[in-house]
Amino acid sequence: MTNDAAEIERLHDLFQAQKEAFKQNMMPSYQQRIEWLTKLEKMILANQKEIADAVAADFGTHPPELTRIAELLGPISRVKFAKKNLRRWMRPKRRAVERTLFGLAQNRLMYQPVGVVGNMSPWNFPIDISFGPLVDILAAGNRAIVKPSESAPHTAELISKLLTKTFDPTVVAVVTGGVELAQAFTQLPWDHLLFTGGPEIGKRVMAAAAENLTPVTLELGGKNPTIITADSLTEKTVTSIMATKMVKAGQMCITSDYVFVPEGKVDEFVALCEQTLAKLYPKVIDNPDSTSIINDHHFRRLEGVLADAAEHNARMVELNPAKEAVDVDGRKMPLTLVLDPSDDLLVMQHEIFGPILPVKTYKTLQDAIDYINSKDRPLALYVFSKDQRAIDKVINNTISGGVAINAVSLHAMQASLPFGGTGRSGMGHHHGFEGFVAFSKAKPIFRQAPIDGSSLLFPPYGKAVNRLLDFLLR
């Protein structure tokens, strides 16, 4: 029996145990949910060093400060926001009654837990996306099983250790393993399944979930455009883009995947990139503040993207202030700009997920908008401008999972805002109230008053009914 086979058997046992536990308590109290959220919060805060060490072990190099910023701030902010608002979220909401029965009935909407939720988290944010969605899942009163990515094995082992120590397995459990386990995970009849990863695997997850009509939330990434208008091509703007692009060496689904600058401004943009990156990272390779590429496969993939651009004679600028050699063993590479790339290059065909940034130009803002709309809908879109009309034009004429104005990625750090994609970049949301709703059944409840007004709608029909219908249909 393979390790995956044993873990698959354990997964089925955990799933059945959680289903039975949910049947025994289908509407956990406010106090119970707060207790679960508090346990999660204390667990994260008490194990910050262990978390930073595990993430660094998986990446090779991953600054502990970055781990606290990118992996811990999100879940902790979400816990605090949920605890502050949970009582209001749980309260049934009154809804209007149709004129037919006005004064003779009441309507309300209650949010009920869906049951047992599966969470398949990725390797690039192994802590944030394992623990963050648990906030929404537990706040909504559900049980959960987490399947961390096998590409971050040290973090997966720590996630299992921490959650097993903190929660009863009928509330939160963890399974760890490879592809066979992942396939088995998607095939269970979950009450809801959350998957974060790439679109191709997302298709398989959705197909497997469809066999059980399992509702899914898919967070799939994409090629996120950044538009800079002429009035905002500044050091501040470029610093925001460069600093965010270097987070996890570009291995972030909401980083800038390509940048639009006004025609004739490419050289100015490049100069600002060189200037700002040198301040942020005087050294890129021999620098504990920079992150390694997760594994050899992805390192070779990125080398292939650059080789393809070189073979097609694309103009490339390596931002390498100390002129360091690429560290193959340490899987570190400098940030490279690819200028005016054609759409047939690999760098423009797929999400990059690494330290490579294509730079395109536009004559008019509408040209940039038209280009964005000709492609798959992105997970995020960024616009840097001082002109509110230009900002509104971009927002109103494009569709994306989220938008940040004069910043990159910061919208995803807001606990009050939903996070999710659209089209090929995903479906559904988590974070905040929308996350609570995503893992709840919004149950409509109608209550008939002692005086039964609905009898007016029953046969035998006659003039009185028709007069009533004439009034209602006016």
Let me know how long the chain is: 474
Residue 303 token pair: 């080398």
Of 7, 253, 273, 351, the active-site residue reads 253
Concerning whether 219 is annotated as a catalytic residue, the answer is yes
Using alpha carbons, select from 255, 355, 256 the residue that is nearest to residue 303. Answer: 355
Residue 431 token pair: 């974070």
Concerning whether 318 is annotated as a catalytic residue, the answer is no
The whole-angstrom separation of Cα 60 and Cα 284 is 14
Of 219, 235, 268, 318, the active-site residue reads 219
The whole-angstrom separation of Cα 418 and Cα 197 is 18
Using alpha carbons, select from 74, 70, 199, 187 the residue that is nearest to residue 136. Answer: 74
DSSP string, 342-360: -TTSGGGTS---SSEEEEE
Q: Which residues lie below 8 Å from residue 82, measured CB to CB, with a gap of 6+?
A: 37, 135, 136, 139, 415, 432, 436
End-to-end CA distance of the chain: 70
Q: Over the Cα atoms of the chain, what is R_g?
A: 25
The whole-angstrom separation of Cα 170 and Cα 191 is 15
Q: Which residues lie below 8 Å from residue 204, measured CB to CB, with a gap of 6+?
A: 186
Tokens 């005086």 found at? 451
Sign (positive/negative) of CA torsion 85, 90, 91, 95?
Answer: positive
How is the beta sheet containing 380-384 ordered, strand by strand?
Answer: 315-319, 335-339, 356-362, 258-262, 225-228, 380-384, 402-405
Q: Which residues are catalytic?
A: 219, 253
